[in-house]
Every structure is written in C-alpha cells, then in structure tokens.
Amino acid sequence: MKQYDAECPVCGRINKGLYLEETGGWMECEACGNEVKVRKIRPTQSDTEASMPQYTFMQMQHC
C-alpha cells in the first residue's frame, strides 16, 4: 500500500503518510480536523520526485 503526502486545501498543512488509495482521496487533516478530498498529493517513497522544486514551473512562465 502506497503512502502519500497531501496538502490540506483548507489550511495548507501537509499531512504525511496517508493511505489515499484506501479512502479514495479523502483524509482528515491533522491540523484543522476537516475531512477533505485532497487535490495536491505526492508519493512519499520517491524522494527525487517529491523534492522537485515547484519554482521550476514559475521560472518557465517568466521566460
């Protein structure tokens, strides 16, 4: 079973080690307690992909 890190759309907190495949993408946020369907996820296991900087995308837009 794959674990994911997911950003809470309500408060922005990263919740780690979630089994999103089991819940269909839903989680209970550890920070605000809301049950939310996550939109931003990333696999916990692949460090190289998870550490891909988000600003790369922004730099491309500035070209």
- Residue ranges that bind Zn ion, judged by CB under 5 A: 8, 10-11, 13, 29, 31-32
Closest CA to 42 of 9, 24, 10, 16: 16
Closest distance to Zn ion from the beta carbon of 30 (Å) = 8
Residue 32, token pair as written in the block: 């605000």
Measured from the CB of residue 38, what is the shortest distance to Zn ion in angstroms? Answer: 10
Name the minimum Å distance from CB 60 to Zn ion. 30
CB nearer Zn ion, residue 30 or residue 52: 30
At 53, the amino acid letter reads P
Place of tokens 């730099």: 59
